[in-house]
Structure 1
């Protein structure tokens, strides 16, 4: 095995000509594939899809036209619409019915987006974290191409966007720790512990990562997908504290724990990042694992309450102003007759002390 090549300490790593993580070697072997396939076939899958429709608050174009404040709208999964310093910023826009290379098979949405692409205002910046189908939606990118000023993307992802009709002049690629400003907002691309690939032959040929967003008044972290790793503390030391962290909390399993976090790890990542308020993302839109669909929000909510962490769980489409306190409700409990009792959090409390 060749040694991992670095340009500088904690910089983008390359192994055998492909992008790599610093702390784990997440190659998928045939044994891994068989273990995951066997688990999907044999393990009991309970409540992985909501029994009732997910609540969605519709967003109108007129509503966004008169928006003056710094505000966040969760559109579903990891798609977040933000207004900061009078600029519209959109993360990982996924609007298709399925997170899949085809629209006749694959994970299907639990709910429709609260607003269509056609109704969106001109978007100043779209941030892409990596090329997986539940984060990089070809159909959405093609529709957005004419109404987005700038696409900020990981290294080697730009070629895909160009192929789909986005002018090269609108695309800027980033390595880990690269940063750039658009108006008064600084965007920094930071590491995650994950992987990339949209097919059988392109694994880890494009980069993956998270985003730091620093406006004149607010500092926000968007995790995208990641296993828990020391990079969160490194990001927190360099860019923290954060007013809001949007942390992956969903699609976890012990079989792929190196690249997706369990809720207790998501909470710890928020702590490492020196976050003030945490919003769990990457849940409640697609069935991408074997846990109950509501489990990520329920576990994160209970852990946060035990630790005194300010956690917000807006309804999809709900307006969340950043300069006001936000009162969350456990909206998912309205959809389930019985929420399974949570296990004690004492082990996590002991490990965090």
Structure 2
């Protein structure tokens, strides 16, 4: 495997990436302690969504149409562009096809119902976000640009040279066309796909500039002290919409540095200052110990405790649509 090579920066030591405001990933000993000591809540074998979306070919004008595919996957249509976020259409998020976390519901958009895809944003290399099989299918049918943080492009092109991967650093701004641009922003997480490649690639969140306003897309993040969310507010305000993760948070001793719980997601919304939030990273793949409906239940409790109207932080099912 070929890894990223580049100059030393404030978040790259010449070999591995790091976050000065974050925490390194847990040790393998901690992982084994969790895996062999935990008692995950049972999930139903299949939890179908009552919704399925058939998107229009394009969305123009000052609008944005967001369709929830499931987990951290979204289709965002705005400015005449069709943009996929962390697309996963595979049945499992795992290095092998016969084991690992499996889907508990179908993608909210059937793959063949997708409109022409222009751009794909991939936040980092974990299997539930960087799905090589899906990226290859997209390359073969749509040939989109794939925007990703440094080093993840090498994972993609080693698998399939047809994937049009472009790698960028934190704070890089990329013009996508039609008045739409994306900036990669620091986020509290890490990455890796095997035993020996931890943080050999970078991870990021995204701020999309669209005709409907700025959309802050957080696919995976811990909360920490909230600095990254406040920094986005200071740099990119006003934000029309934030997509924030609410799932995969138990047990807290293991997950808190990499995944927010719903109460922290509510605080992240306050920190970034977005007018509206949508929830993601829940309800499709069982990655951690909480029940399938716990993120939504806990989110509503946290919103009520904070005095935030529930409609300001919407929870969609796969196939549901939100329009700006």
TM-score scaled by length of structure 1: 0.82
- The correspondence for 2:201, drawn from 206, 223, 228, is 206
Secondary structure of 1:158 counterpart: helix
- The correspondence for 2:134, drawn from 130, 133, 140, is 140
- Which string of whole-angstrom CA distances, capped at 9 and with x for unpartnered residues, describes residues 206-241 of structure 1? 100100001123210111111113111111110122
Runs of 4+ in 1 over 4 A off after TM superposition: 66-69
Residues 200 and 165 from structure 1, CA distance in 2 versus in 1: closer, same or farther, beyond 3 angstroms? same
Alignment match, 1:185? 180
Gaps of 5+ in 1: 323-353
**1:127 partnered with 2:126:** no
Q: Distance in 1 between matches of 2:46 and 2:124?
A: 31
Mapped contact 2:58–2:81 kept (Cα < 8 A) = no
Alignment match, 2:314? 312
Alignment match, 2:57? 65
- Which string of whole-angstrom CA distances, capped at 9 and with x for unpartnered residues, describes residues 239-274 of structure 1? 122111100110012112111111111111111111
Secondary structure of 2:112 counterpart: coil
**1:219 partnered with 2:211:** no
Q: Distance in 2 between matches of 1:166 and 1:59?
A: 31
Residues 100 and 177 from structure 1, CA distance in 2 versus in 1: closer, same or farther, beyond 3 angstroms? same
Correspondence 1:68-147 to 2 at 5 A: 69-146=63-140, 147=142
Mapped contact 2:218–2:244 kept (Cα < 8 A) = yes
Correspondence 1:278-289 to 2 at 5 A: 278-289=277-288
Moved more, 144-153 or 207-216: 144-153
Query: Once the 2 structures are TM-superposed, how far is the Cα of residue 319 of structure 1 from its aligned partner?
Result: 2.1
| Rg comparison, structure with higher value | 1
Q: Distance in 1 between matches of 2:112 and 2:123?
A: 23
Q: Distance in 2 between matches of 1:176 and 1:67?
A: 29
Q: Distance in 2 between matches of 1:85 and 1:37?
A: 45
The alignment's C-alpha RMSD in Å is: 2.0
Correspondence 1:1-353 to 2 at 5 A: 7=9, 13-15=11-13, 17-40=15-38, 43=39, 45-47=40-42, 49-50=43-44, 53-60=47-54, 63-65=55-57, 69-146=63-140, 147-167=142-162, 170-183=164-177, 184-229=179-224, 230-253=227-250, 254=252, 255-306=254-305, 307-309=307-309, 310-322=312-324
Secondary structure of 1:19 counterpart: coil
Mapped contact 1:241–1:273 kept (Cα < 8 A) = no
Moved more, 115-124 or 83-92: 115-124
Q: Distance in 2 between matches of 1:128 and 1:66?
A: 21
Secondary structure of 2:56 counterpart: helix
Query: Once the 2 structures are TM-superposed, how far is the Cα of residue 312 of structure 1 from its aligned partner?
Result: 1.1
Q: Distance in 2 between matches of 1:67 and 1:25?
A: 40
Secondary structure of 1:57 counterpart: coil
- Which string of whole-angstrom CA distances, capped at 9 and with x for unpartnered residues, describes residues 33-53 of structure 1? 23212332xx3x334x13763
Q: Distance in 2 between matches of 1:88 and 1:33?
A: 38
Secondary structure of 1:290 counterpart: coil
Alignment match, 1:326? none
TM-score scaled by length of structure 2: 0.89
